[in-house]
Amino acid sequence: MSETSAANASLKDRVQSLRLPPPNQSSGAGSKLPWVLLLGMTCATAYLLFAGSPLVKQEGSVAQAGVQTSTTAPAAQPTAPKPPGPPASGPVVESKGYIIPEQQILVSPQVSGRVIELNFEAGQRIEKGFVLAVLDNTEYLAEFERVSGQLEAARENLAELREGSRPDEIKQVQADLAESQTNLEQAERDYKRAKDLLTNGFGNRQDFETAQSQYQMLRKRVDKLAATAQLMIDGPRPERKRAAEAQVRQAEAEVRRAKWRLDNCIIVAPISGTVLKKNAELGNLVNPVAFNGSFSLCDMADLSKLEVELSVQEREISKVRKGQRCRVQPEAFMDRYYDGVVSRLMPIADRAKGAVPVRVRLKVPPEEEGQYLRPEMGALVKFYADLVEEEEPAASSDPAPETGDVDPGLAEGPPET
């Protein structure tokens, strides 16, 4: 305190020594200028003397020493640090979505027809292969019988061509050939006799021409029967056999098509799951290509395989990865939690929302299937930083920065001195 009092007394003496005599009151406005200059010089001198006071220097050195020796206390005016990264144990992103089935099937008949039997209700849990409905099959049964007859006829025709002529048929043609050859020999003798008589002048011209015509006719007949016998021995041509085989294949295709239509009059469950919606009633006419009326029987889904469909904002999508652990909390049951994992990030973003669609696969216990979680229910999803073990990426050669709690004062290193 003694040093401070001495400094203040010295300052006071120096200020008083600079004081000017009182100005003349009648000097006018121009006499005020020296006083303004004096006041400015006085303030500047006081500031300089106060800044050089030993007390002020001592306090400044103590404050500076405190900054250099402390590693946790921030400087007097530090630079604003970056926000620390999220802890690995807490959620990095939270978003709301809606529960959907991983696979939802629209059960539609393959053929059109009237429903004569219906064996399910909405909400019923059914197994794969269960008979859902039966359609009237009168028309399809008649078509199947018709094409089956055509197939049988085509097969018999092919078998006949492959077998060739029967031995009795060949014997019959050979007998006809032998008979014609005998008649030809007799006609040849008659022709020679008539020719000799006509040459010697004893025969009739008309008898000679008749014998000649008979001989030539029988010779042609013998040639025809000989060729027929040879054809029957050789059998049908290969082209006819191949044509018959093609007809058989065509008939078989028609039978398969008719059988397929007939079998599809019985509609069975394609998967094991729950009936979400009932779209037809007993007596309805269903048609898979109809625009009006019923075109399907029901909607089915396996409620043990669910997903949450949600959108993550573009500014936060970098925190979401495939295989990331999640925790799902249904809004209808806020006291229940389910484990989940990011199954996929959709390839196209939503421009209107400025977000990217994401799917999170749920793990539903078998005993809770269809009990609490239902399609189209709202759910809150919390994304965590760690991945599931089977989908963790391979270790990189470059060391990654550790994520955890960071002291805000050390986020950018030690403060500048």
Q: Residues of the chain with pLDDT > 70: what percent?
A: 71
Average pLDDT over residues 383-396: 60
- 105-136+265-300 has CATH 2.40.50.100 classification: yes
Residue 348's pLDDT is what? 94
**Three-state DSSP state, 335:** coil
Most confident of 41-50, 188-197, 351-360: 351-360
Distances (CA, A) of 232 to 15, 164, 179, 235, 241: 151, 7, 18, 5, 15
Q: Pick the residue with more confidence: 123 or 399?
A: 123
pLDDT greater than 50 at residue 78: no
CA distance 105 to 101: 10
pLDDT interval class at 33 (50, 70, 90)? low
* φ and ψ of 271, to 5 deg: -140, 170
Average pLDDT over residues 382-393: 68
Q: Pick the residue with more confidence: 195 or 83?
A: 195
Residue 236's pLDDT is what? 80
* Complete edge-to-edge strand list for the sheet that includes strand 113-118: 266-268, 131-135, 113-118, 285-286
Cβ neighbours of 215 (radius 10 Å): 20
pLDDT interval class at 15 (50, 70, 90)? low
Most confident of 77-81, 192-196, 333-337: 333-337
Q: How many DSSP H helices and E strands does the chain contain?
A: 7, 14
Q: Which CATH architecture describes the domain 91-103+302-410? A: Beta Barrel (2.40)
Residue 329's pLDDT is what? 94
pLDDT greater than 80 at residue 82: no
For 257-301, write each residue's pLDDT tens digit. Answer: 999 999 999 999 999 999 999 998 999 888 887 655 567 899 999
- 316: amino acid identity, one letter: E
pLDDT interval class at 354 (50, 70, 90)? very high
Residue 198's pLDDT is what? 82
Q: Pick the residue with more confidence: 3 or 311?
A: 311
List, in sequence order, every residue forming a beta bridge with 358; answer none if it has no partner: 310, 345
Residue 50's pLDDT is what? 55
Residue 18's pLDDT is what? 58
pLDDT interval class at 367 (50, 70, 90)? confident
Decide: 231 and 223 in contact? Cβ < 8 Å. no
Residue 364 carries which DSSP code? -
pLDDT greater than 80 at residue 162: yes
> Both tokens of residue 142?
């008649």
Residue 38's pLDDT is what? 66
CA distance 207 to 203: 7
Answer whether 0.85 is exceeded by the pTM.
no
At residue 352's C-alpha, the angle toward residues 347 and 355, to 5°, is 45
